[in-house]
Structure 1
């Protein structure tokens, strides 16, 4: 199991209150390490909780909100340290999140860069947010860069919500199918079976026997599948929080239409991240390295790593993108033109829009196919039961 992060408050040898974040296998280990360093622990609290486990998808939304508030304060001319203090004490009750922000403020006050101090938070910023903030510090445009980060994360959050909304109705229909199967097998069909057996004297039709036999095993089968799948996901979530999504994505990637949607999403993420990083003034080689760390698909990660090698050798990206078979040729041609014109960041913005439109079309097609299929399956199921009983 991976080591956890713990937020702590302690008194040093001078009697001053210190804050920090440490990793360890338990609270006792962190307390022991603090005492060895000359601190007297006041409290040690794990940053891992059920909200972090099951609602980590809100991390982008939280970082977008933070970036927007801090950018507004900085662009208004408020110094960074004062802005962080205003963000830390905007509520009367001290929450665990505010305790972490106090640590960030203390680190910045002691001379650390904001990008270094933010790495102590949980959830920590992803490589995109961290790199953009670092670029803003380097160029002296932290407020402007934070505003761009907020725009990007807000757009990503809205787009993820659109995807969830598009899949909500098919998931609702699928849940209805499972519920109908369970109700039929637990209450309706056993009642008819008892009625037919009480009549006696007449042998039941073959279809009726099959339906009654299936209804006896179906509840156990449904619960077994639910426990197996749910338990497996929980085990992966607790033991390998960074790998369980990759495994699930690899399984879904083998499904034809769903795999296409996932590949388009990776293409959108690649072009969007790379374009934003280049616009922030980050060199192409470093931007490619950072982009590779944000991708979910092993194929896109491998392609991006090969691009890093090509760029390091002074080669252009377009030839490798054309020959990869992973990146669409139309997008590769557009990037080739942009490399010749020196407008790669602007062209990547247009490429992102192109991939995003295609992704929306694929999602719409997927939902249009799933909905009638589930409705027909549900109607056929009810028809078979009605005909057999």
Structure 2
């Protein structure tokens, strides 16, 4: 008999974790259901892990997993296409196992075909489609499987899959826009640093060397420039190595929950970057909650799943607390207001949807509103950053030019005199 670690939700949507002994994963799921819980994921615990106590503990520190590293994955564009294909076949009244077989045969990528075939095999063994998809967590995340489970229960699996395809596509578009927006400032920063470094390490020493040979009295600005040039020339490689070490140390520390919470709390308090971070996380939360709620996923369960999609730990904790407040009887709008993350416009829209009974519609509108808010904040941040970077670079170059010209002007005055 093996030991299994499970993640499940109770009737009120609260997430539960625990361990259970069973002969097989199927038996483990049955035992979890007997406890009155709906299993989200079941994973076997190896004997070595049990004896050593390794894994992801309550401290929230992320542990490297070789098994997860070698699990199959799929790009967002491929997942969108496959989801639409399954939706089309299911809507034509084709049984789910036949739909999966047809989609696997349609896949050009052998790895993708193997994933869909693996899901089909689990379905043929008696698993639900959602449970079968949970065997591939790097392909079908908690949001995806929760929506599929809700679609199976409601009998509208084809509509839910179509919404999932739209959601996956829009999420990929958002990532693309973020990457596109960051390309120019990142390239500009790299060029600025490279130009200044090249001037200080190569150009300035050759020019200033002439003044040193002439034993001229150099102005203060030229002396500062020479000191900067010597520092970059002598310690440039060490500076690059130190920067690499600092980045590596920072990435390691970010795996620790306490340090990550402090960093994310600081990010939320920053004037411009904090606004961008809040709008990004709230836009993602609103969009996820909207599609979950419209797919008949219970509100509290949808809130927990939506908070898990966020990148900021502090925002995630606040929204999990909001889910608990809703479970205790508070309204959704009031609970979200207490997080101090959302704009007044979104809070008014959600409260209005609760009162009028059109929460699905209002959540969808709020998601669009938050996405537009995020785009505006990104545009504003870039419009501030880019001119500041150009002005800073121009100021440094101007200082270098003045520091070189001043001795020349002094020598010219001495010759004329």
Q: Aligning the two structures, in what range does the TM-score lie when normalised by the shorter sequence?
A: 0.7 to 0.9
Distance 1:247 1:68 in 2: 41
- 2:245 corresponds to: 228
Counterpart secondary structure, 2:306: helix
What does residue 73 of structure 1 align with?
A: 89
Partner SS state of residue 123, structure 1: coil
Where does structure 1 lack aligned partners over 5 or more consecutive residues?
Answer: 1-20, 27-44
- Residue number in structure 1 paired with 2:215: 201
Cα shift at 1:280 = 0.4
How far does residue 130 in structure 1 lie from its aligned partner after superposition?
A: 1.5
Alignment of 1:178-193 (within 5 A): 178-193=193-208
Partners of 1:312 and 1:222 in 2: CA distance: 53
2:162 is aligned to 147
Structure 2-normalised TM-score? 0.72
Query: Which residue in the other structure is 2:79 paired with?
Result: 63
- How far residue 216 of structure 1 moved from its aligned partner, in angstroms, is 2.9
Q: How does 1:115-154 map to 2 (within 5 A)?
A: 115-121=130-136, 123-154=138-169
Corresponding residue pairs, total: 342
Once the two structures are TM-superposed, the CA of residue 193 in structure 1 deviates from its matched residue by: 4.0
Pick closer, same or farther for the CA change 1:371–1:165 going to 2, 3 Å. Answer: same
Are the aligned partners of 1:318 and 1:335 in contact in 2 as well (CA < 8 Å)?
yes
Contact in 2 for aligned 1:233/1:244 (Cα 8 Å): no
Equivalent residues of 2:119, 2:129 under 8 A apart: yes
Residues 129-177 of structure 1: CA deviation (Å, up to 9, x unaligned): 1111111111222222111001011112112212222222111211111
| Cα shift at 1:281 | 1.0
Any conservation in 2 of the 1:60–1:153 contact (CA below 8 Å)? Answer: yes
- 1:212 equivalent to 2:212? Answer no
Which segments of 5 or more consecutive residues in structure 2 lack a partner in the other structure? 1-42, 49-65, 405-417
Higher-Rg structure is 2
Match of 1:107 in 2: 122
Aligned to 1:258: 273
CA contact (8 A) 1:321 1:329 kept: no
- Indicate the residue corresponding to 1:309 in structure 2: 324
Give me the CA root mean square deviation: 3.3
Name 1:376's counterpart in structure 2: 391
Aligned to 2:300: 285
What TM-score do you get using the length of structure 1 for normalisation? Answer: 0.76
Contact 1:84 1:105 in 2 (8 A): yes
Q: CA deviation at 1:99?
A: 3.9
Change (3 A) 1:242 1:80: farther
CA distance in 2, matches of 1:93, 1:68: 17
- Please state if 1:164 is matched with 2:217: no
Q: Structure 1 residues 92, 338: closer, same or farther in 2, change over 3 A?
A: closer
